[in-house]
C-alpha cells in the first residue's frame, strides 16, 4: 500500500488531484480509513455514483425504443442473477460449487453492476452476517434508512476490502485484479452498449435506437434500478415483513422484495440458515435465483447446491 501511495501521482500533475483521480480507477490507491474518518462520506469518490444517477436523465434527450427497454430489462435480470446467485450465495456463502471459468464469468457480470468486485462485496456481507443489527453492522436500519440503503456504501470506512474475511476468494489473482480495478468492467459495458446502439442505428435505423439511447437505458437506468433494488435487502428486509425464525437480528421475509431481488427477500430464512443455495424454504416462496441455479445444475455448469436441512424447517414458527 505505501508503495502505491508513493507512486500515485505523475510528477507533471498536482499530486493531490492526480492521486484522487487515480482512486477512481485503482481502489488499491485508497488508504484504509480509521476512527472517526471511517464514518465520513468521501464526496470526491462519491462523484461517479452521483454521475451514475444523473446519467438516467439522459433518457429525456435520447427517447426510448423497444430495443432499449429490452436491453435494460435483460441486463437487470442477468446482473441481478449474478449478484444474488454468485456475489451472494456463491462468493459470500459458498452455497454451491462451480468451475473457475464460471466463477470468473459471473464475477465479471456481477462487477458490471457497479457494486464493486466480488471480494469487496463478500467481505462486507460476511461481516454483516457476523454482526447483524448491532453497532458493528455497517448497513443495519438501526443507523437510519438512508444510512442502511446507501450512506454506508459511500463512507470512507466501507471503501477498503478486508481480505482477511475472504481468504478463500483472495487466492484467485483474477478476483484480486477485479477487486482492484472494479470500475473497468462497468466502463467496458457502457462502451459496449454505446457501440452496439451505434451499430444498430447504422444497420437497422427502423429500430429507432442509437448509441446514446442504449447507453442511457441499458447502462444508466438499468444499473441504478438494479443498485437500489439490491440494497432494499439491507434497508427494507430488516424492517418490513414477517419473521418465521427467532433470529438475533431483525431480518424479515417479504414477498415483494423477493420478487424484486429474485429470491433475496426471504431474508429471515436466510439469516437463520445462510448456507443453503435456496432462500425460499417453502414451495410457494418464489425464489427465481434458486430456479436459475437448478437450471445451471441440470446443464452441468454448477454443482453441489446445498439444500435446506430438515431440522431447519422443524424450527419454523409459521
Ligand atoms: Zn441481512
Ligand atoms: Zn447473506
Please give the distance, rounded to the nearest whole angstrom, from the Cα atom of residue 125 to the centre of ligand 2: 6
User: Is 186:112 a contact under the CB 8 Å cutoff?
Assistant: yes
Ligand nearest 141 Cα, by number? 1
pLDDT for the residue numbered 6: 39
3-state secondary structure at position 41: strand
User: Is 279:263 a contact under the CB 8 Å cutoff?
Assistant: yes
pLDDT for the residue numbered 138: 85
Distances from the Cα of 64 to the Cα of 87, 166, 187, 205, 219, angstroms: 31, 42, 22, 14, 14
Please give the distance, rounded to the nearest whole angstrom, from the Cα atom of residue 208 to the centre of ligand 1: 42
Please give the distance, rounded to the nearest whole angstrom, from the Cα atom of residue 5 to the centre of ligand 2: 34
Classify the phi-psi angles of 187: left when phi > 0, otherwise alpha if psi is within -120 to 50, otherwise beta: alpha
pLDDT for the residue numbered 275: 97
pLDDT for the residue numbered 9: 41
**From first to last of its 318 residues, what are the pLDDT tens digits of the chain?**
344 433 444 444 455 777 777 777 788 777 777 777 777 887 777 888 999 999 999 999 999 999 999 999 999 999 999 999 999 999 999 999 999 999 999 999 999 999 999 999 999 999 999 999 888 888 898 888 888 898 888 888 888 899 999 999 999 999 999 999 999 999 999 999 999 999 999 999 999 999 999 999 999 999 999 999 999 999 999 999 999 999 999 999 999 999 999 999 999 999 999 999 999 999 999 999 999 999 999 999 999 999 999 999 998 877
Please give the distance, rounded to the nearest whole angstrom, from the Cα atom of residue 284 to the centre of ligand 2: 21
Residue 140 backbone dihedrals phi, psi, to 5 degrees = -80, 145
Neighbours of 13 (CB within 10 A): 12
Ligand nearest 124 Cα, by number? 2
Please give the distance, rounded to the nearest whole angstrom, from the Cα atom of residue 106 to the centre of ligand 2: 17
Ligand nearest 94 Cα, by number? 2
Task: Give the DSSP H/E element, type plus range, for residue 98.
Answer: strand 97-98
pLDDT for the residue numbered 173: 97
Amino acid at each position: 500500500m505505501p508503495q502505491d501511495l508513493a507512486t500515485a501521482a505523475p510528477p507533471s500533475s498536482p499530486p493531490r488531484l492526480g492521486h484522487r483521480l487515480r482512486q477512481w480507477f485503482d481502489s488499491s490507491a485508497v488508504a484504509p480509513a480509521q476512527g472517526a474518518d471511517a464514518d465520513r462520506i468521501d464526496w470526491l469518490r462519491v462523484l461517479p455514483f452521483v454521475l451514475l444517477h444523473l446519467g438516467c436523465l439522459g433518457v429525456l434527450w435520447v427517447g426510448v425504443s423497444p430495443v432499449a427497454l429490452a436491453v435494460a430489462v435483460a441486463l437487470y435480470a442477468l446482473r441481478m442473477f449474478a449478484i444474488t446467485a454468485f456475489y451472494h450465495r456463491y462468493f459470500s456463502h459458498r452455497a454451491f460449487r462451480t468451475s473457475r471459468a464460471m466463477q470468473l464469468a459471473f464475477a465479471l457480470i456481477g462487477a458490471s453492476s457497479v457494486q464493486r468486485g466480488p471480494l469487496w462485496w463478500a467481505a462486507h456481507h460476511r461481516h454483516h452476517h457476523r454482526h447483524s443489527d448491532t453497532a458493528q453492522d455497517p448497513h443495519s436500519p438501526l443507523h437510519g434508512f438512508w444510512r442502511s440503503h446507501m450512506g454506508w456504501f459511500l463512507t470512507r470506512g466501507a471503501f477498503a476490502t478486508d481480505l482477511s474475511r475472504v481468504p478463500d476468494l483472495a487466492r484467485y489473482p483474477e478476483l484480486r485484479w477485479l477487486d482492484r480495478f472494479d470500475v473497468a468492467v462497468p466502463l467496458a459495458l457502457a462502451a459496449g452498449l454505446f457501440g452496439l446502439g451505434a451499430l444498430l442505428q447504422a444497420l437497422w435505423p427502423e429500430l429507432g435506437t442509437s448509441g446514446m439511447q442504449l447507453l442511457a437505458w441499458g447502462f444508466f437506468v438499468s444499473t441504478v434500478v438494479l443498485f437500489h433494488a439490491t440494497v432494499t435487502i439491507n434497508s427494507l428486509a430488516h424492517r418490513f415483513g414477517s419473521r418465521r425464525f427467532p433470529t438475533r437480528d431483525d431480518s424479515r421475509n417479504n414477498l415483494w422484495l423477493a420478487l424484486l431481488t429474485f429470491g433475496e427477500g426471504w431474508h429471515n430464512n436466510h439469516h437463520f440458515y445462510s448456507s443453503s443455495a435456496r432462500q425460499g424454504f417453502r414451495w410457494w416462496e418464489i425464489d427465481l435465483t434458486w430456479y436459475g441455479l437448478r437450471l445451471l445444475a441440470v446443464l452441468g455448469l454448477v454443482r453441489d447446491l446445498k439444500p435446506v436441512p430438515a431440522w431447519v424447517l422443524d424450527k419454523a414458527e409459521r
